[in-house]
Amino acid sequence: MRFWIAVIPLVLFVALAGAFLVNLGKDTSVVPSALIDKPVPDFSLPPLPGRDKGLARSDLANGQVSVLNIFASWCVPCRAEHPLIQRLAKESGVAVYGLNYKEKDPQDGVIWLNELGDPYTAVGMDISGRTGIDFGVYGVPETFIIDGNGRIRYKHVGPVSPDILQNVLLPKIQELQG
């Protein structure tokens, strides 16, 4: 009897620790998007100041694979990944759209792109962060891969690294293009 009581803590511990150990290595930063394989949320965003084309859902569901990159001028990792987004646009050949997230001043995004170069086919301004919420954004930068039917097929949270570009994003785009 006393032996069995003494074993209870061990059993509970093994259950809890086991659950964590088994799930070790599963990349949870990818899973949380409830939007995977779901259609892109409906939205329509105004263009950057001085440009005429904004961004809307129809741009992302036009029969072609596309990439949506969420960035902000105040976000340092975005600056770090920017050259890789440029490489992505050049090497993949698909349209890369930008969502300029929660800018203090609409002009900031324009200055930023003028300074670093503009790889985006079109950019929408999400000043309020409302569209960002629909996309489940919880840390800028984030990068979505969207298929021709306007379904989100992949989501990467955090800055894109050369490794991720080469081994994850580009293969995924090729796979979707068939």
Partner 1 sequence: MIAELGHFALILLLALGCAQAVLFCPVRMAFFRPIKLASEHGEILAQLSPEKGNAGFEADKGQTARLLWPLPVMICLLAFMAQGALIYSFIISDFSLPLVADYSHSSTPLFYRISAAITPENCAILLWISLTALASVFFWVQSHLSQRIQNTDTTLAVLGLIMALLAASAIIDGNPFLRDPAPPLDGMGFDPLRQDVLTLIHAPLLYAGLAALSVIFATTFAALPRAQLDRVWARQMGPWAVSAWLFLGAAILTGTYRSYIEQGWGQWWYWDVVENAVLLPWILATALLHCLTALEKTEALKPWTALLALSAFGAGWFGMFLVRSDWLGPLPAALIATGEHATLLIGFCIVMGGAYFLFSRTAGQLREAADFSFLSRESGLFINSVLFAVAAAIILTGTVYPLIVRWIGDSIVTVGPPFFVQALLPVVVPILLVMGLAPSLRWRQDRAFSLAGRLKLPLIMSAVITLFVWMRHINASPLPLLGIGLAAWIVTASIADLWERLRRNRDQSGTKYRNIARLGPHYTGMTLAHIGMGLLVAGASASTLWQEEIVLSARSGQSIEIGPYNLQYEGVALLPGENYATRKATFILYQNAQPLGQLSPEVRYYPVRGVETIEADVWHSRDGDLHVTVGERAEDGGRIVNIRFFPMMSWVWAGMIIILIGGIMSVFMRALLFFKKNEGPTQ
Q: Biggest alpha carbon distance in the chain? A: 79
Closer Cβ to partner 1, 75 or 96, answer by number: 75
Amino acid, res. 124? G
At its nearest, how many Å lie between partner 1 and the CB of residue 66?
Answer: 25
At its nearest, how many Å lie between partner 1 and the CB of residue 56?
Answer: 26
At its nearest, how many Å lie between partner 1 and the CB of residue 51?
Answer: 23
How far is 33 from 135, CA to CA, in rounded Å? Answer: 8
How far is 109 from 49, CA to CA, in rounded Å? Answer: 9
Per DSSP, 141 falls in state -
Closer Cβ to partner 1, 6 or 50, answer by number: 6
Closer Cβ to partner 1, 95 or 99, answer by number: 99
Binding site residues, partner 1, CB under 8 A: 2-3, 5-7, 9-10, 13-14, 16-17, 19-21, 23-25, 28-29, 31-32, 34, 72, 74-77, 80, 104, 138-140, 157-158
Closer Cβ to partner 1, 77 or 148, answer by number: 77
How far is 176 from 153, CA to CA, in rounded Å? Answer: 9
How far is 151 from 35, CA to CA, in rounded Å? Answer: 9
At its nearest, how many Å lie between partner 1 and the CB of residue 157?
Answer: 7
Tokens 């809890």 appear where?
Answer: 16
